Amino acid sequence: MRKTLTRISLTIGIAILPISGAAVASVPLQAVQLETVQFNQDPLGLDEQLWKRPGGKSGDWRVMLRAIDNSLRYLKTPSAAKAYQNYSVPGVTRDRVRRSLVRFRQLLIKSPTPKALQAAIQQEFVFYKSVGKDNQGTVGFTGYFEPVYAGSRTPSAEYRYPLYRLPSDFQRWQKPHPTRAALEGWDGLGKNSPLRGKELVWLRDRLEAFLVHVQGSARVRMPDGTLMSVGYAGKTSHPYTSIGGQLVNDGKMELEGLTLPAVIDYFRTSPTELSQYLPRNKSFVFFRETRG
C-alpha cells in the first residue's frame, strides 16, 4: 500500500500553520521509524480520551475531527496556496497534505479503538522528524482553547456587543469589503451597522467579543446558565492585524512580554484605548451557532 505523506506531530496531533520556507530550505526531511523512538507518552492514536473520558463520558474524537476540518478549510485558502508554492522542501505539496488529512479523518471515524487507529496510522503513514526553526530540531508548539464568555441571545444594557451571522448575500459583497469600523462602529456597538438584524448573540464585554474574532470560536454562557457554542462562518477580505503587534509598534508594550494575558491586562487598565486599537484590525469574522 502506498504510504501517505503527513505533517503529523509524533505526539500531539495535527497543526497546519503558515509556512516559512527559509527555515527548512537546506535540510531534507528525515523519515522516522516509530519503533525506534523513545516516547514520554504513548504516540499518536493511543489517547484513550478520544474514545472514552473519565466518569464514563463519551470520547472527544469529534473535537479532533473539527481540528482536521479547520486544517482542510485553511488549505483551501489563497494564503495556503501561496505558502505551499513557496515551500522549499521537495515533495511537500498542499495536495499531499490535504490527502493526508482526508485519510487521517477517515481512519479516525472508522477505527473502533485507540490501538486500531495507531495500527492503521503506522501502516499507512510515514512520520517525518521536524528540522525545527534552527535546522537542529528546535520546535515550538502552540495551544488552543475555547473560552467561555458571558452573553445573551437578546440585547440589554448589560449585553451590548454583538457577534454577527454571515449575511446571505455575502458572496456578492463588493471588494474590498467594509472594515471592522464600518461594520461594528468605532465603539463596537453596531448602532448604525449594515449588519443590523444579523446579530447572533450579544456579549457583555467588548474585548471578549473581539477575542472571539481572534480565536474563531467560543462558548457563551447565558444568563440562565446554559451554554451556546459559536464557530467561524466566514470573514471579510481584509488581512488580520495583530493588536498586540500594534501596541508594540506604538511603544505601549515590549515584544518580549507580548502575550494574550498581557494584552488583556493592558486593555483592562486602559479601556478607553479599545476604540483606538481594535478597529486597526480591519478583518471581520462572522459566526454561526455550533454544537459544542
User: How is the chain split into domains, by residue range?
Assistant: 4-129, 148-290
276 φψ region: left (φ > 0), alpha (ψ -120 to 50), beta (else): alpha
Each residue's pLDDT tens digit, 62-90: 778 888 999 999 999 999 999 998 887 77
CA distances from 42 to 35, 70, 182 (A): 12, 25, 50
Alpha carbon 235 to chain centroid distance?
13
pLDDT at 128: 79
Please, are residues 202 and 154 in contact by the beta-carbon 8 Å criterion?
yes
> What would the grid cell of residue 247 be?
501596541
Rg (CA), the chain: 21
The model's pTM is 0.57
Q: Answer whether 104's CB lies under 8 Å from 44's CB.
A: no
CATH architecture of the region 148-290:
Beta Barrel (2.40)
For 227-280, write each residue's pLDDT tens digit.
999 999 999 999 999 999 999 999 999 988 888 899 999 999 999 999 999 999
Distance CA 219, CA 170 (A): 25
Q: How far, in Å, CA of 25 to CA of 18, rounded?
A: 15
Q: Residues 97-142: pLDDT tens digits?
A: 999 999 999 998 898 888 888 889 889 988 877 777 777 778 877 7
Among left, alpha and beta (phi > 0; psi -120 to 50; other), residue 55 is: left
